[in-house]
């Protein structure tokens, strides 16, 4: 979660610097913003990714390269779908109850994020209109971290 982005950016930056333009978009998590118990390795990696992205933003900005993170809460992916079914079995409740009573207790918007929503934000960050967004972490969490 941290080493792979580092290696990819390390290889991509020289060409971006040559071109005088580039966009780096790291997929972080709301756990890059806040901590939760029992997830120390994941949270450490996401906090590291956030710091790495900001450092690249500072170094690359003068050369036309922006670096940002997208920090979503639960995205409807196969991994999350498996987590839902595992939690349902563990707690002896329905999958709908897992989503409602475990995963979506904090956000004001009570649904999972669709992968297309994350993709659309990433595409926007590559547009000329987003050229001044640099060193940011764009949180997609339905206001879960607004507390």
Residue 147: what pLDDT?
A: 85
CB 44 within 8 A of CB 31: no
Which CATH architecture does the domain made up of 1-72+131-142 adopt?
3-Layer(aba) Sandwich (3.40)
How far is residue 101's CA from residue 136's CA, in Å, rounded to a whole number?
A: 31
Tell me if residue 42 is catalytic.
yes
CB 125 within 8 A of CB 133: yes
Q: Over the range 98-137, which residues count as b (16 or more CB within 10 Å of their CB) and which as e?
A: bbeeebbebbeeeebbeeeebeebbeebeeeebeebbbbb
pLDDT in tens, the chain (147 residues): 999 999 999 999 999 999 999 999 999 999 999 998 989 999 999 999 999 999 999 999 999 999 999 999 999 999 999 999 999 999 999 999 999 999 999 999 999 999 999 999 999 999 999 999 999 999 999 999 998
* Domain boundaries of the chain, sorted by first residue: 1-72+131-142
Catalytic residue among 17, 38, 42, 74: 42
């Amino acid at each position: 979660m941290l080493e792979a982005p580092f290696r990819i950016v390390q290889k991509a930056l020289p060409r971006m610097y040559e071109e005088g333009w580039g966009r780096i978009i790291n997929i972080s998590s709301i756990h890059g913003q806040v901590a939760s118990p029992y997830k120390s390795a994941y949270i450490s990696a996401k906090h590291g990714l956030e710091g790495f992205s900001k450092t690249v933003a500072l170094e690359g900005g003068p050369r036309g390269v922006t670096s940002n993170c997208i920090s979503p809460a639960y995205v409807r992916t196969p991994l999350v779908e498996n987590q839902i079914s595992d939690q349902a079995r563990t707690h002896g409740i329905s999958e709908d109850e897992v989503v409602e009573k475990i995963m979506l207790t904090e956000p004001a918007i009570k649904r999972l994020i669709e992968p297309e929503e994350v993709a659309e934000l990433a595409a926007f960050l590559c547009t000329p209109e987003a050229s001044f967004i640099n060193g940011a972490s764009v949180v997609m969490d339905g206001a879960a971290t607004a507390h």
